[in-house]
Structures are given as structure tokens and as C-alpha cells.
């Protein structure tokens, strides 16, 4: 159980748009920026989105992030087979003085 709530799974067909939600509270998402990580099977996590909506160099613009209040979301447009992975949201929590991850959302490309 995590302080950040994500759906355990999401799916879509190639070319579709998939959105993953991340719900927190005033002590984490409400007062700090949100980061998103992609973890392909058997590999280390990769930073996908930082500071709510910024993309690191090399991340396709099919991936976008947003934040409103105590919630954030990750959108994948034009879903591709290679996007099949686990996606985690994360944020610093001022009450816990700790970095917290969501439980992760497994995205399946149908």
C-alpha cells in the first residue's frame, strides 16, 4: 500500500491514447513536483517525466505529464508495442520526509 494511488493496470491497442492517474495528498503531490518512471521487463527504471511535465532528452513526445492539485497523470499517445512496461509515479512527501512511489501501473498493449 502506498501514499500515492495508481491503478494496477491499463491497456490499449496500438495507436490509442492511454492515461494513468496518480492520486496523493497535500503533503506530497499537493506541495511537490511529480516524476514518472518507466520500467521495461527485466531492466532498471528510467526517468520518463520530471517536474510534472518535463521530458528528459530522448523521451518521445508521445509521453506527457500533468498535475492538478493533489493528482497527476501520465498520458501515452499513439501507443506502441514497445510501451508495454510498468509505470510509476513518485513525489517527495513533506510529512514523511521521504520519496514515495505509487504501486505501479502495468500497461499492456493489446
Residues that bind other proteins (CB under 8 A): 2, 32-33, 35, 37, 39, 44-47, 50-51, 56, 86, 88, 90-92, 96-104
| CA distance linking residue 107 with residue 110, whole number of Å | 10
> What are the distances in angstroms from CA 35 to CA 2, 12, 15, 81?
15, 23, 24, 23
Write the CB contacts of 68 (distance below 8 Å, at least 6 apart in sequence): none
Least spacing, CB of residue 62 vs other proteins, in Å: 19
Smallest distance from other proteins to CB 84, Å: 17
Nearer to other proteins (CB atom), residue 13 or residue 44: 44
The minimum distance between CB 6 and other proteins, in angstroms, equals 9
Residue 13 vs 57, nearer CB to other proteins: 57
Residue with smaller CB distance to other proteins, 13 or 61: 61
Question: What span, in angstroms and rounded, lies between the C-alpha atoms of 96 and 68?
Answer: 21
User: Strand pairing of 9-12 and 63-68?
Assistant: unpaired
Amino acid at each position: 500500500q502506498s501514499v500515492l494511488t495508481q491503478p494496477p493496470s491499463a491497456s490499449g491497442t496500438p495507436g490509442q491514447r492511454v492515461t494513468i492517474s496518480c492520486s496523493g495528498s497535500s503533503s506530497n503531490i499537493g506541495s511537490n513536483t511529480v516524476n514518472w518512471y518507466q520500467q521495461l521487463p527485466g531492466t532498471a527504471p528510467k526517468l520518463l517525466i520530471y517536474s510534472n511535465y518535463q521530458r528528459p532528452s530522448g523521451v518521445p513526445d508521445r509521453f506527457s505529464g500533468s498535475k492538478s492539485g493533489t493528482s497527476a497523470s501520465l498520458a501515452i499517445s499513439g501507443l506502441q508495442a514497445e510501451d508495454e512496461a510498468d509505470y510509476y509515479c513518485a513525489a517527495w512527501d513533506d510529512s514523511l520526509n521521504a520519496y514515495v512511489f505509487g504501486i505501479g501501473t502495468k500497461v499492456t498493449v493489446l
